[in-house]
A and B are shown apart, each in its own frame.
Chain A
Amino acid sequence: MKSLSRREFIKATAASTAAAAIGVSLIPGMEKSVFAGTTTWHKSVCRYCGVGCGVMVGVKDKKIVAVKGDKECPTNFGLLCVKAFYLNRINYAKTRLLHPLVRKNGKLQKASWDEAMDLVAKKFKKTIDENGPDSVAFYGSGQAYTEETYIANKLFKGCFGTNNVEGNPRLCMASAVGGYLTTFGGDEPGGSYTDIDKCDCFVLIGSNTAEAHPVVFERIAKRKAKNPNVKIIIIDPRKTPTNKIADLHLKCIPGYDLPILHAMARLLIKEGYADEDFIKNHVAFSDGKNPMNYEQFKQFIEEFTPENAAKTCGVTPSEIVEAAKLFGQAKTAMSMWTMGINQRIAGVWANNLIHNLHLLTGKIGVPGSDSFSLTGQPNACGGVREGGGLCHLLPGHRSVKKPAHREAVAKIWGISPDKIQPKPGLHTMAMFDGLAKGNVKCIWICTTNPAQSLPNLNKYLKGMEEQFMVVAEAYHPTMTTELADVVLPVAMWSEKEGVYGCTERRSQHLAKCVDPPGEAKWDGEALMMLARRLGYGDKFPFKGPEDTWNEYLTLTKGTDMDLTGMPYSRLKKVRGLQWPCPSEDHPGTEKRFVKGDPLFKGEGKINFYKKPNGRAIVFARPPKGPEEPTDAQYPFALTTGRILEHWHTGTMTMTVPELNRAVPKAYVEIHPDDAKRLGIANKDMVEIFSRRGKAQMEARVIDRPRKGTLFVPWHWREALINLVTTDAIDPGSKEPEYKVCAANLKKA
């Protein structure tokens, strides 16, 4: 080893680490010996998406100098994607905010923490005193750590007495929550990533898995490469890099996929692929209002012949027949979906119809089968869905509407149950509408950028500018901090510890590896500074994240998401644990509702115990298209999404010059036939416009979207596509329909 130069040594280490991730030993022991003695490695989780990849963070001289995939972590076995490649750079970005800012004479100016927090406390107190608690609000994030969301929830719902607590998962995951709750009675998937390794047929619907969840894509692609009989069905209006592994692509019209799912269900029953025993013992039927029986359900779906469905959805009947056949014939099947399904006015219903396919065929609750929603953000499941960080929820999958739930929470919070309002607060779009109308006068925004990410932005920007807005953020400027009255510098990933809960119900501990820069503080501490100033200090005796987590654990005891067996002391050692995990000797639960799940009751093979009679519900939901269909004036269906190199509003990834340069400009994908008809050439500047607003960007003429569809990645502030998108919401989940609106374009 001595003869190796330093560079050769690093190269050998890099190669060995890569080989080790796939279970190959290149130079035995090499990957373990990386800079032994000089670099300290800390166990953590990737900051970007909901896959929840384990990472090891290498620190030398108090700086992060290396990152590697955590080979021991069962979510990724050491593999990462290109975003994690640049993880450390987000900590050392030039736009890191190092001290508080307070707006004085119209300008944000440097201030001390005391000055900033005194002002925030004064404003919140005066507003609550004069206008009542519902005049203030908190808007959090699926990127915040669970402990931070917990503190905010307790302060606003328990101390201030308002349920105006929301988080950006409302914009991406709320329809999935609604789907799980209505179908199964409880939120979050029953299965795990391990199902991928045994799955014979994948339905990827409304998901560009290769770019949005790359490490999950790798696992699917590996499964298929090793087992060529594994089939992959894609249902999506756009051809994406995920198509590299597809057997069948149903390129439907945006917003019109519900009939495809009904037609598949009809064929599965007609052609004998239904599991009649499973249906008899574990399934109930409903039209959404009233129960129905199996025969009535069959009558309901009778009209969804492949021909009828194909006409509405813009695919061919034979594609639908083929999709049903592949799903039916496979021994095991997994459906995976994300924003293409959730960000719709029929988001909950679309979720229900995906679950239907699994319930009708019994392809659920067995290894290799699950109806598995992919989460967008790293802690949308953990912090916001489980932690109760939405306006209708309380920690531990509880509801503000249920007296027993309010009582249980109030007891732990040390408050009167009456302090928690029984009525849900304002959901995200109503909250920002409240700001625009002046009903909400003070808002605390944590780790998110709504001034760029909300749909139909023209309607909401003024309210954000006019009302008192506190933004706790690691960077400045972002579009939201620019509108703020107070900006608080907060610690980033690796500068604080805490817990993330990913897609597969796995809670993982993230270590603090380095100190935050400048005067940046932990978000939890910033919120507690407000609590102390308003007289609620005794409710927050937490010295740090661990105390906070411990209190939160007590609120999960005995619930369906029992985390009692997950104290920091255990989480620091293991690569996460899946709930329910009721005791420290419990291994966690890979599959819910079946033997092995500590809450499983009875003798049958599955028990959907979150439903009163143990039966999951197959829904007869009527087909529902988008809120704003295309017409002569706005003939294009506009759809928005993510690309591999960037993430959400780019607050983090745009601070990394390399990622910014890789895909430097905003662009719209347009089908070559549409471009030809409109005389638009590749790289022409075009203006996209809708009934709400317009945005300019470069045209990318490419055979990816279907004809009549425009696709715009939504990461760029210079080309704000959210001025164009619609804020119509799903009536159940209140999630906006980012995925479809009617638009037009012309040469700029």
Chain B
Amino acid sequence: MPISGVVILIEPKKSQKIFNALKKTEGVTTYGLHKDIYIVAVFEAKTTKELETMSGHISKEIDGVLGVYPTYLHFEDETEEA
């Protein structure tokens, strides 16, 4: 099951709304707002497909999100099926 640590770059004024939207997104755990512009989060999913869908949804659909930047991806359990 892939797990990814990501940094979400946001417009500072929209942080609360973004947090609310992230809370509703299954598989996302947030680790706070940092330096006014970054939300640290972990994405968990059953497959990398879900992980990607999550990432695409957040960057394209949540207003105020400027980009989603993965920093770490663990896919040990997936390597076999790839």
List chain A positions with a Cβ less than 8 A from chain B.
Answer: 7, 10-11, 13-24, 26, 60, 63-69, 78-82, 84-86, 88-89, 92-94, 210, 214-215, 217-218, 221-222, 225-226, 241, 244-245, 645, 657-659, 661-662
> Is the beta-carbon distance between B79 and A18 smaller than 8 angstroms?
no
- Residues on the B chain within 8 Å of A84, using CB: 70
Q: Closest Cβ of chain B: how far from A193's Cβ, in Å?
A: 15
Q: For B52, give the chain A residue with the smallest CB separation.
A: A658
Name the residue on A nearest B82 (C-beta).
Answer: A92
CB–CB B44/A65 < 8 A: no
A85–B3 CB distance below 8 A = no
Known: A69-B72, A221-B66. 9 other contacts (CB 8 A): A13-B5, A18-B41, A64-B79, A68-B73, A80-B69, A84-B70, A85-B73, A86-B48, A225-B11
Cβ–Cβ contact B82 & A659, under 8 A: no
With CB as the reference atom, state the residue of chain B lying closest to A221: B66
Closest to B69 in A: A79
- The reply to whether A661 and B79 contact each other, CB–CB distance below 8 Å, is no
Chain B positions within 8 Å of A82 at CB level: 52, 55-56, 68, 70
Neighbouring B residues of A244 by C-beta, 8 Å: 66
Residues of A within 8 A of B5 (CB): 13-18, 68
Chain B positions near chain A (C-beta within 8 angstroms): 1, 3-7, 9, 11-12, 29, 31, 34-38, 40-42, 44, 47-49, 51-53, 55-56, 59-60, 66-76, 79, 82
Residues of B within 8 A of A88 (CB): 75, 79, 82
Q: How far is the CA of A367 from the CA of B67 in the complex (A)?
A: 26
Q: Chain A's nearest CB lies how many Å from the CB of B8?
A: 9
Q: Is the interface of A mostly helix, strand, loop or mixed?
A: helix
Q: Is the CB of B71 within 8 A of A18?
A: yes
Measured between beta carbons, the chain B residues less than 8 angstroms from A64 are 79
Contacts known (A92-B79, A92-B82, A226-B37); A65 close to B74, Cβ less than 8 A:
yes
CA distance A18 to B28 in the complex (A): 14
Please indicate the chain B residues that have their CB under 8 angstroms from the CB of A241 in the complex. 59-60
Are A18 and B31 in touch, CB under 8 angstroms? yes
**Bound CA–CA A662/B72 (angstroms):** 20
Structural contact, A15 and B31, CB atoms closer than 8 A = yes
With CB as the reference atom, state the residue of chain A lying closest to B65.
Answer: A244
Partner of A18 from the list B1, B42, B55, B60 (CB cut-off 8 Å) is B42
Least distance between A672 CB and chain B CB atoms (Å): 19
A244 to B36, alpha carbons, bound, how many Å?
A: 17
Bound-state CA distance A241–B73 (Å) is: 24
Q: Assuming the A-B contacts A13-B5, A218-B9, are A85 and B79 also in contact, with contact meaning beta carbons closer than 8 angstroms in the complex?
A: no
B3–A11 touching, CB < 8 Å: yes
What separation, in Å, do the CA atoms of A293 and B29 have in the docked complex?
A: 62
Known: A16-B5, A22-B34. A81 touches B70 (CB 8 A): yes
Residue on A with the closest CB to B37?
Answer: A225
Q: Are A63 and B79 in contact, CB atoms less than 8 angstroms apart?
A: yes
Distance to closest chain A CB from B27 (angstroms): 11
Assess the A69–B70 pair: CB atoms within 8 A.
yes
A147 to chain B, nearest CB (A): 28
Smallest CB separation, A74 vs chain B (Å) = 15
By a CB distance below 8 angstroms, the chain A residues around B7 are 18, 21-22, 79
- CB pair B9–A21 under 8 Å, yes or no, is no
